[in-house]
Amino acid sequence: MFRYSKTLAFGVGFAALALAGAAAAAVGSYPAMAPIEQYRVADEAALARSAAPPSISKDAQVLVLGAKGYEIAAKGTNGFVCIVERSWANDFANAEFWNPKVHGPICFNPASARSVLPTYLTRTQWVLAGVPKGQLLERTKAAVAAHRIVAPEAGAMCYMLSKGGYLGDEAAGGHWRPHLMFFTPHTPAASWGANLPGAPVMGGDDPGVDPATVFYVVVGAWSDGTPAEPMKM
């Protein structure tokens, strides 16, 4: 997942799948962007709100994919922003970067809405303008070098608790598990005890591109309160 003009790691929600060692399913071939209509989704605003519990999402701003970028579907009052990310939120080397089936409901808290989300929104504008993947990467590197993409604010996090998302062909059932994500400046995974046997925290970053580390914590229930399958650690 992206952050534009201010921040960081593109691929936020979907990188968790690799970190978690998600069940292997055959990944389709997605060598190029599909027609934009294949990336659209019905009732996108409701799907976006499903990323977080109603107590949060009912007062959040909601953005939906328009012709040139994301557009405001509902104004919010609590500083949270809920959207549905598409496959180009993935890191550039991901085989599913252009997978039109990917729809990732995600709800950013105020700190991440300011410092993480803008990168993804900007990338989406580039994608819809027809910028090739290689140039997307070069533009991102240039934005980082120029400090237009910077480290996330303190306290930046988001919710990904939707049953309705499809995070990729490798995810169990497409939606993996409900989880929270925490965005930090580059931080050693060991300092969070991440990626260790029995630890409920996963984490990783791409120091060659984004000035951030993303930590993932799987939780026990979806946004509607129903229990999720326990994660084996």
For 156-200, write each residue's pLDDT tens digit. 999 999 999 999 998 766 888 999 999 999 999 999 999 999 999
The tens digit of pLDDT for each residue in 104-157 reads: 999 999 999 999 999 999 999 999 999 999 999 999 999 999 999 999 999 999
Q: Find out whether 174 and 164 touch, Cβ atoms under 8 Å.
A: no
Structure confidence at residue 232 (pLDDT): 65
Q: Which of 104, 89, 95 is nearest to 29 (CA)?
A: 95
Tokens of 136: 């997307």
Angle between helices 133-145 and 117-128 (to 10 degrees): 140
SS3 130: coil
Residue 8: is its pLDDT beyond 90?
A: no
Q: How far is CA 195 from CA 118, 140, 216, 218, 230, in A?
A: 28, 27, 10, 12, 17
Residue 2: is its pLDDT beyond 80?
A: no
Q: Which residue has the higher pLDDT, 4 or 80?
A: 80
